[in-house]
Structure 1
């Protein structure tokens, strides 16, 4: 008891005696500090476990910190901070106070409270008398500076640490690894390797050494030093890495050693087959099929590459990003090699479902998808309507016969597929994906569920009686539409389907056999319905012609659709613009463009398109947009003041001088409104109806419809305009809206600063074509300044004369604006003038879809100036 009483005074946190210090050192280390440190280590283990390595890219030096992981561990971080704070507050004379302050700084760092964390690390550097704590705090401060691209501050810390002595091995390991991160962030990939080598010297964790060796191997492979790459891939296999890293190390080491240069094609193919057979590689079969497909593509075997890619998409895997790369490769192949835009669209759709918005590929793929969505919408509408209208021309008996023959063919096809599915193929490992022995499947199997043909025939008999019913309650009231059935006709293989199969769908017997009555009901036997469908087809021909020329750079295909439009719809109101696009397309192909110039002059001498080709030297581009916009404002002001003749003169002069600008539709509508004040009402209404058929802008369409409605609701009471402006009804004043150019009109763009953003650099198409080194220069710029951001560069057309360069992704507006600032201050290239650079802007993914649809950059800039 006396001893216990003697120890009680030692609990004081201030009294500096040997016994007191011993007590506080012991309790601080093994209680509060210990538990706080364990909590942080637990978080770091979770960050590592949750991170999905992307082995197709050079692995990052540090695991990327996922905000979702941090949020899920908020309670753990709170406990760590509380325990570390107790170690400081309760044991003030302990030697574990400074280490506890460091843990508090780390908690703030992981929470994203970077300023507080940096202040803590700076405080320790100035005030701590423990060199080991000062050093680790400085290293963590360095990492925080690199995270925020504060390279000047980071360089200062590096210089300071280089002069420090007696840095312990554990801190040296972390320091050299952070130095490698510094060079990674700056894009100085060649300087990463020396830092990683030094980090390896002090690495005691075998798993950590394995990962560093893998990164070194990737860096050597990227530099073309295959022998060194092979060596370090082999080294990365040691150190108890997870099997995923072992697999990719073996795969890539064989590639750099032999596969890429081998002329023994059979040996290479056997290598991939052997990998596939190995049961340890079940989780990587998609990668193996994909890599074999890439090998076949290099040999020029495109169909075999497609087959292997398609098989890879069906493999079950937890690595969505890898599956995204496979779908992206399929979309690229169908776009560039096959020029099949429909399949390109559906593979793009599938790719985007596998990438996150923050992934490197997402922004560029999303931008491409917008164009192909429009292509698919118009193409499928055109082909479906055409088929249905052809059916409607048959007699009722012939229609029924056609449907019966179609159903019979479908039944035969489905039974044939069941026969094929039951036969286990043995020609190669890639066909024999899952061989479970001879448990059934043959037509002679006695057990029903082992006989796939019997199952299929049973399903077909059920369908013939009840129709194709989904698994749902009250299924007797359900049936299937004709269009759905028509879309599935003839799809007997993965590369013949319009949309790729979902790899998560189990291989099962499906009937896909539609209901006979439903198919017959889908045929448009009504003249009114056929007329509506023909109008839709007219629009589709026109849209496809423009899309193929302006967006997909396919002048020959564009000509086919536009010529079909004019042939099938000789009275179409789209003819002037169709002639104009045909003029441009034939001119690009060095064909008889003069033919369409002549037709425009003969048939539409007053069209803006005619004026444009007759005045090729007239000012165009941004200068024309600016000038026409200013004239429009002046003319609209005159109109509001009832100075109609003056307004008309400015509008007509502007339309002649600048025939085709972003303001043309607004000028034309204003000209029509002036007509309503100066000419007969019938002329005004006729021009409005024509305008409604020709313009695309939704706001202008809505406004024109209101104008027409105002003079059509009660024509008996509507005065006929005469030549005296003061006696006429002011048609525009009857509408309770402003002309859509007015700033009060609601913008089609929405402010969403936290959404994924992309950086846009618009330029003239001619400039873009000449800037052959621009992409390479940007890649170098990104490597130097944003390498950890995994940025991707791509280009798409925004009309005939404008190409936009897209850089993505940025997780929010703040990061995209930071990129823009660095781009403007640091990026230099002979291809880009300061004017072009300064025309750049950032935009959210959602708003980009609007911009791509409207193709009006100046309209977006008005929103951009307010929102950003």
Structure 2
């Protein structure tokens, strides 16, 4: 034992000596022990730990991603997480560890693997540009060494050891030598093909010779009268050899939808062998990461929309028979991913099916089949989709994926014509009632709704969508899809107020990165004005109806409303009725727990058992009859003698309470007249919005007709008739158009709308007048540009005096007059006129330009005329490409800046360690009373805002809001200088919210 211990101590000392000497030697000077030591330390220290961090990161991202089975699934969920800040710290640690491997062991076999892992971490962090650079460096620096013919060595001489790869940093490139090697490789390939051809020709001649010999033997046997058995030809080309029974092996389930990016199993066939030689065996020696680097380079190119280069790499990897089998398998999946990113489902389907066939994990195999089925559904191929979903089920994946496939199969029976919609709905209803499917009830109900809508039954579809929302299992995804679909149904029916409200609910759940967010927000914005007018019309109609009631009926209505409110406040909570309302909150707020009350299926089962025995009961204490002593124990509902008569409530509504309820209701004639005028304006604006924003002429005509019927002789009557004239003319209804033209000429003869409807030349006259007004403005502006400021001022004042109403040239003239005044009367008059432009012309380009000029003039915190204490901003400039800082402004003067700095530094070390942010403290305010922390070293405003969003989302880790009261801002270098000049952040706050948030 002592000798063995002494041996290990000597070996350790020798390793230390080797490490101290070999660290400065070149690659070709490393001895066997030094190589072994470097490889062992680089693999089992830095690289191993980094790989473990990477695996944990991928699992975390998988848990964060939630599949939406109502939409096309993502092939690789770990690349689809919106915000990777939660794993950035672990990824940075992994990068640090392999960076140490590269630095301390530059000649080990694990350097190329370290660069591969760095690129993978950058890709997962969604830093696609850096990932591409890393992978390009890997494939350029660690390309395989070209195969060389072994020269004949003297007997007994040791042959030099060949490395699996070579770095271009260590080998001088020789273009002439490389050209010769390419020619030699081409010649070797030609010789190999010729060798195969000769071998095939030889086998063909041997086969012909064997058949000729057999034919002669049969002729000789026939002459002798010997009958031989007939020859059975093997038409399959396969040998009749006994098949081996495959070993029973338990398949790995694997994470849902994650391709095995770190597995290097080589048990798959090489597939089509187009060119090159078969890969060597790496059972013992280290396998280079060159091919995987090329695969991940293609992946990063796809994420950067460089599809052509990615396609070249993937085709080369799939066609080269020297590609490792596992890399070829991954290339199949990445090829399908490329076509999906290009929105080319037809070409993606065969690669998805091929990738599914060779996938090693059940969930991965099922996921690819599932996506292929979804694509075939989109292409209108229900038979192929059904086959794909059946394969997904046969793979025995996780139950959620299997359930999604079964739901799609039920829909495909109807789409393929093999079953009716009623049968499919009945089948799905049975699935929803199964106890194992209770956690997925909302998903099943949504599938029933989609099926009903496809069959043309919108009412049934909407009802099932409402049930899906009310289900206790409804999560954010089901809520999002149900709200959106209900909004689409209401929009299609022309029911725009519910549509707008449904879209509002959808956008609160939908992430801004969803590709549907922008068009949905645009539609919601189109409906905002219409919904506002409809709501205002409903409210004012109700108020006006109540206000016109007789006094006694109005007081009775107020008393009834008071009693209803009091009864609702005193009513006990019904757990059955409120279960649907509480279900969404419970399902979203409660995390993973073994407590039975957090299990929706267990709660539902218990509720059903209780109701089966005791019926529905109100939520109250001591409900058992054996323990109750109250007077109403044996009284039936509806009896007039319930309770104690002496305890009858005598509380009456007071006059003040009646007045409070009736407050805002127009009871006077003048108030009612004012409200009718407002209703007429709402109906006119509603009709105009229908026509101009939604191009819904039927709804517009309906709104204008309501206006003319309810409020004849309204202020907008002439314009509403002209709108109806235009709509009927556009719809080809000449008779109705002529009626409205006649109405205009009769009641509003000589008006603008009469002339537009009845005088064809009037429109061209108006255009000519508008052209003249524009030319007058251009003349005035040209005088200003020539420096003739007095002439420009006179022309602008004259031109503005000719404009009537809210003419679009008025703000232009106002800004021109302000600029001319500034040149004639100086800075104070210039500033005063610019403030008038800002105050008078809201939401115009001229107002924006006036604000910019005021900022350039250094008018920080200036007030706008007519708007007290409204800031117009300081001399701040918007530049997202400029270098940015983060500033943390604390509200309390006695804030412990050192403790805050430590907390921020810990946050940076966890999530932004590689960015090396520097935290410094400054003080603002006239008396240096406002403590501020400044985080420096950012490249662009986009990166600064990413930090801003992460700090907001992880507020407790960044700076506990309960402990610190602060504001966080991103600020460019130039704007930071403006803040320091003003020694205040107050003017920057509104500017930041306007331009960044």
Report the alpha carbon displacement of residue 635 of structure 1 after superposing the two structures with TM: 6.7
Partner-residue secondary structure (3-state), 1:541: helix
Query: How has the CA–CA distance of structure 1 residues 205 and 633 changed in structure 2, closer, same or farther, with 3 Å as cutoff?
Result: same
Q: Does residue 579 of structure 1 match 2:750?
A: no
| Cα distance in 2 between the residues matched to 1:673 and 1:550 | 30
Match of 2:757 in 1: 613
Query: Which position in structure 1 is the counterpart of 2:117?
Result: 103
- Partner residue of 1:10 out of 18, 26, 45: 18
Residue matched to 1:345: 500
Tell me which moved more, 314-323 or 564-573: 564-573
Show the 5 A alignment for 1:503-652. 516-527=658-669, 529-566=671-708, 569-570=711-712, 572-588=714-730, 590=733, 591-604=735-748, 607-614=751-758, 630-631=774-775, 633-634=777-778
Match of 2:543 among 388, 410, 416: 388
Shift in Å, 1:60: 2.8
What secondary structure, in the 3-state scheme, does the structure 2 residue paired with 1:435 have? helix
1:382/1:313 CA distance change after superposition, 3 Å: same
Higher relative contact order (CA closer than 8 Å, sequence separation 6+) = 1
CA drift at 1:152? 2.7
**Match for residue 364 of structure 2 among 192, 205, 208:** 208
Q: Is the 8 A contact 1:422 1:441 kept in 2?
A: no
SS at match of 2:76: coil
Residue 665 of structure 1 aligns with which residue? none
Q: Quick check: 2:357–2:365 contact (8 Å CA) kept in 1?
A: no
The farther-off stretch of 10-19 and 153-162 is: 153-162
Residue 35 of structure 1: CA displacement?
A: 1.1
**Residue 699 and residue 334 in structure 1: after superposition, are their counterparts in 2 closer, same or farther (change >3 A)?**
farther
- Return the alpha-carbon distance in structure 1 between the equivalents of residues 397 and 414 of structure 2: 24
Question: 1:746 maps to what in 2?
Answer: 848
Residue 34 of structure 1 aligns with which residue? Answer: 48
Q: For 1:44-123, what aligned pairs fall within 5 Å after superposition?
A: 44-63=58-77, 65-66=79-80, 69-123=83-137
Cα gap change, 1:701/1:575 in structure 2, threshold over 3 Å: closer, same or farther?
A: farther
Q: Which residue of 2 aligns with 1:779?
A: none
- Count of residue correspondences: 639
Aligned residues of 1:121 and 1:140 also touching (Cα < 8 A):
yes
Q: 1:700 to 1:142 in 2, by over 3 A?
A: same
Q: Distance in 2 between matches of 1:76 and 1:734?
A: 53
Q: Is the 8 A contact 1:639 1:674 kept in 2?
A: no
Query: Hey, what does 2:348 align to over in structure 1?
Result: 192
Q: Quick one: structure 1 residues 446 and 406, their matched pair in 2 at CA, closer, same or farther if it must change by over 3 Å?
A: closer
1:42 Cα offset (Å):
2.0
- Per the alignment, residue 313 of structure 1 pairs with 469
Question: Cα distance, 1:272 vs. partner?
Answer: 1.6
Question: How has the CA–CA distance of structure 1 residues 69 and 43 changed in structure 2, closer, same or farther, with 3 Å as cutoff?
Answer: farther
Match of 2:374 among 186, 193, 218: 218
Match of 2:398 in 1: 242
Deviation at 1:68, TM superposition (A): 5.3
Q: CA RMSD in A?
A: 4.9
Aligned position for 2:295? 139
Deviates more, 1:366-375 or 1:393-402: 393-402
Q: Which whole-Å deviations, capped at 9, do the CAs of 1:521-559 have from their partners, x for residues lacking one? A: 342234554344233223212111212333344434433
For 1:238 and 1:9, the matched residues in 2 are separated by 59
Structure 1 residues 291-370: aligned runs within 5 Å: 291-317=447-473, 319-337=475-493, 339-370=494-525
Paired residues of 1:423 and 1:441 also in contact (CA < 8 A): no
Residues in 2 aligned to 1:647 and 1:594: alpha-carbon distance in whole angstroms: 43
Shift of 1:415: 12
CA deviations on 1:18-39 (whole Å, 9 max, x unpaired) are 1111111112111111111222
SS of 2:608 mapped into structure 1: coil
Partner of 2:322: helix, strand, or coil? Answer: coil
Question: Match of 2:411, SS?
Answer: helix
Q: CA deviation at 1:43?
A: 2.0
Aligned to 1:261: 417
C-alpha deviation, 1:322, in angstroms: 3.0
Write out per-residue CA displacement over residues 193-241 of structure 1, whole angstroms, 9 at most, x where no aligned residue: 2323333354222221221121222233333333332232122234452
Query: For the structure 1 residues 616 and 253, does the alpha-carbon distance in structure 2 shift closer, same or farther, using more than 3 Å as the test?
Result: farther
Cα contact 1:118–1:144 (8 A) shared by 2: yes
Does the 8 Å contact 1:464/1:515 carry over to 2? no
State the SS of the aligned residue for 1:437: helix
In the alignment, structure 1 segments of 5+ residues that lack a partner are 468-478, 480-513, 649-668, 676-686, 708-731, 755-811, 815-865
CA contact (8 A) 2:777 2:813 kept: no
Give distance in 2, aligned partners of 1:541 and 1:28. Answer: 77
Give the Cα–Cα distance (whole angstroms) in 1 for the partners of residues 356 and 618 of structure 2.
64
In structure 1, the partner of 2:35 is 21
The TM-score with structure 2 as length reference comes to: 0.56
Distance 1:618 1:753 in 2: 48
What is the CA deviation profile of residues 655-700 of structure 1, one whole-angstrom value per residue up to 9, with x for unaligned ones? Answer: xxxxxxxxxxxxxx9877238xxxxxxxxxxx7xxx3xxx598996
The answer as to whether partners of 1:32 and 1:84 remain within 8 angstroms in 2 is: yes
Alpha-carbon separation, structure 1, partners of 2:380 and 2:738: 52
CA distance 1:214–1:465, change in 2 (3 Å): farther
Question: What pairs with 1:641-790 in structure 2 (closer than 5 Å)?
Answer: 673-674=801-802, 691=805, 695=806, 736-737=836-837, 744-746=846-848
1:406-445 per-residue CA deviation (whole Å, 9 max, x = no partner) reads 5678899999999997899xxxx9xx99634326565799
Match of 1:161 in 2: 317
SS at match of 1:290: helix
Find out whether 1:233 has 2:389 as its counterpart.
yes
In 2, the alpha carbon distance for the partners of 1:43 and 1:346 equals 39
Quote the Cα distance in structure 1 between the aligned partners of 2:467 and 2:851: 41
Q: Which residue of 2 aligns with 1:401?
A: 556
Change (3 A) 1:202 1:619: farther
Change (3 A) 1:267 1:573: closer
1:152 to 271, 291, 308: 308
Q: CA deviation at 1:135?
A: 0.6
The CA deviation at 1:747 is 6.3
Asked whether the 8 Å contact 1:173–1:200 carries over to 2, the reply is no
What is the distance in 1 between the residues matched to 2:327 and 2:301? Answer: 18
- Mapped to 2, the partners of 1:312 and 1:93 lie a distance apart of 61
Q: 1:229 to 1:18 in 2, by over 3 A?
A: same
The verdict on how the C-alpha distance between 1:333 and 1:62 changes in structure 2, with shifts beyond 3 A counting, is same
Q: Residue 758 of structure 1 aligns with which residue?
A: none
The yes-or-no answer on 1:43 pairing with 2:43 is no
How far, CA to CA, are the matches of 2:790 and 2:710 in structure 1?
44
C-alpha distance 324-617 of structure 1, shift in aligned 2 (>3 A) = farther
Q: Compute the displacement of 1:10 (Å).
A: 2.3
Unaligned runs of 5+ in 2: 1-5, 145-164, 166-286, 580-600, 625-632, 819-831, 853-876, 881-939, 943-994
- 1:487 aligns to what? none
> Quick one: distance in 1 between partners of 2:552 and 2:124?
74
- Tell me the secondary structure at the aligned position of residue 356 of structure 1: coil
Contact in 2 for aligned 1:206/1:240 (Cα 8 Å): yes
- Asked if 2 retains the 8 angstrom alpha-carbon contact of 1:40 and 1:77, the reply is yes
1:72-113 per-residue CA deviation (whole Å, 9 max, x = no partner) reads 112111111111111112222311111112112222333344
- After TM superposition, the score normalised by the length of structure 1 is 0.63
Contact 2:67 2:73 in 1 (8 A): yes
Report if the CA contact (8 A) 2:414-2:420 is conserved: no
Contact 2:421 2:452 survives alignment (8 Å): no
Question: Residue in 2 aligned with 1:437?
Answer: 610
Distance 1:258 1:737, change over 3 A: closer
